[in-house]
Amino acid sequence: MTSVRRIGIGLAAVGRPAYITAGRERDLGDARDVEALRERTWAVLDAAYAAGIRYVDAARSYGRAEEFLAGWLAARPDTADVEIGSKWGYRYVGDWRLDGVPMADSAGSVSGTHEVKDHSVEAFAEQSAESLALLGDRLAVYHVHSATLDTGALDDAALHRAMADLREHGIRVGISTSGPRQAEAVRRALDVTVDGEPLFTSFQSTWNILEPSVGPALAEAADAGARVIVKEAVANGRLAPGGATNSRDDRVANLADELGTSVDRLAFAAVLAEPWAGIVLSGAVDPAQVASNVAATGLKIPAEVEDELLDLAEPAEQYWAARSARAWA
C-alpha cells in the first residue's frame, strides 16, 4: 500500500469561485461567496489532515486560498507538521465573478479574465511579500507558477538572485509547469544555478494518464535530488466520475469499472505507481472527494491494465489545446 503522505491537497478549486475543473455546478452549486468557500476550504483541509495528508498547495492567483489556509493553520495549532507550498507569477483579477472581468487581449478582443501572468522580478518581490505576510514561517516551498521557456523566468539572473534569497532563508524554491513543452522547462530549470548550487529543487508538473509526456524529465529531476509534485492527476475532472469528454476518457472510466474502483482512484494510482512522483495533489472540493482520492493508495493496477492505459495518452499539443478551451465555471 502507498503511504497517504504521498498525497497532497491543492486549493485551486476552492480558493476562488470559478475554475476550469468539470462538475463545479454539481459540486459547489451557488454557494460560492467568500465565507462559503472559506468554510469549504476548511472542511477539505480538516478531512485531508484526518486522512493523514501533510502537504498543502496554494498560489497567489487562487483567489483567497492563502488567506483561507492561513486562517485554518491559526485555528488548528496541532497542524505544525503540515508542509505548505505556494506559487507566485499570476495575479488573481477575477473580482470574485464567475465570468471574470472584461480585459482586452493582444488582438484587442475582450473576454472574461480571471488571472494575469507576470514573471518579472518586480512581481516576485510583490507577491512573495504577500505570501510571507499571510503564511509567515509556515511557507516551506515557493514555485514560479507555470514557468515556460518564453516568460523569461528561467533566464532572468536578477530574478534567480532574488529567489535564491528565499532559499538562503530555508524556503525550497521551484517551478510549476504547464503546456506541451513542460519537459523542456523542467530540464532548463535543472540547469539554473546560483552561487554554484541548483536553484530549483522542486518541480510541480501536470502528469496524468492522458498527458504523460513530462514523465522522463521528472524522472531526471528526481534523480538529481529534486522533489517532484504532480498536479492535475484527474485532468481537471476528465478522469473524475461523470467528467468524461471523449472516448479516451470513457475507456479509462470503463477500465476503472472493470477493476471495481472509481476512475479518480485509478487515475491517482497510475501516478502513484511512478517512482519519481513524490507527492500527488488532490484538487478535492469536499471531504468525500478527499476520501476517494486517498483510497487510491490501496489500489494496485494489474500489468495488463497498465499496458492499456499507456495507449490512451493523447498527443501533448492536443491535450493542452483542449485544456485551454475549457470554460471557467
Q: What is the pLDDT of residues 220-233, one digit of tens each?
A: 999 999 999 999 99
Least confident residue range of 1-5, 85-89, 323-327: 1-5
Q: Is it the case that residue 131 has pLDDT exceeding 60?
A: yes
For the stretch 170-188, pLDDT in tens is: 999 999 999 999 999 999 9
Q: What is each CA distance from 40 to 44, 139, 148, 309, in whole angstroms? A: 6, 22, 32, 33
Mean model confidence pLDDT for the chain: 97
Nearest to 181 by CA among 304, 316, 31: 316
Percent of the chain with pLDDT over 70: 98
Read off the amino acid at residue 245.
T
Backbone angles phi, psi at 64, to 5 degrees: -110, 25
Is the pLDDT confidence value at 109 over 60?
Answer: no
Single pTM value for the model: 0.97
Q: What is the pLDDT of residues 207-266, one digit of tens each?
A: 999 999 999 999 999 999 999 999 999 999 999 999 999 999 999 999 999 999 999 999
Cell numbers at 132, concatenated: 510571507
Q: What is the pLDDT of residues 47-101, one digit of tens each?
A: 999 999 999 999 999 999 999 999 999 999 999 999 999 999 999 999 999 999 9
pLDDT at 110: 56
Mean pLDDT over 277-301 rounds to: 98
Q: How confident is the model at residue 2 (pLDDT cuts 50, 70, 90)?
A: confident
Of 139, 144, 125, 133, the C-alpha closest to 188 is: 144
Alpha helices by DSSP H, 76-214:
121-135, 157-168, 182-190
Provide mean pLDDT across the span 103-120. 82
pLDDT at 103: 81
Cα–Cα distance for residue pair 317/132, rounded to 1 Å = 36
Q: Residue 288 pLDDT > 80, yes or no? A: yes
* pLDDT over 90 percentage in the chain: 96
108 band by pLDDT with thresholds 50, 70 and 90: low
Task: Tell me the per-residue pLDDT of 138-166, one tens digit each, with 9 for 90 and over.
Answer: 999 999 999 999 999 999 999 999 999 99
What pLDDT does residue 18 have? 98
Say how far apart CA 253 and CA 208 lie, in whole Å.
14
Q: Indicate if the pLDDT at residue 329 is higher than 70.
A: yes
Return phi, psi of residue 320, to 5°. Answer: -75, -30
Q: Kindly tell me if the per-residue pLDDT of 107 is higher than 80.
A: no
- The pLDDT-based confidence of 104 (bands split at 50, 70, 90) is confident
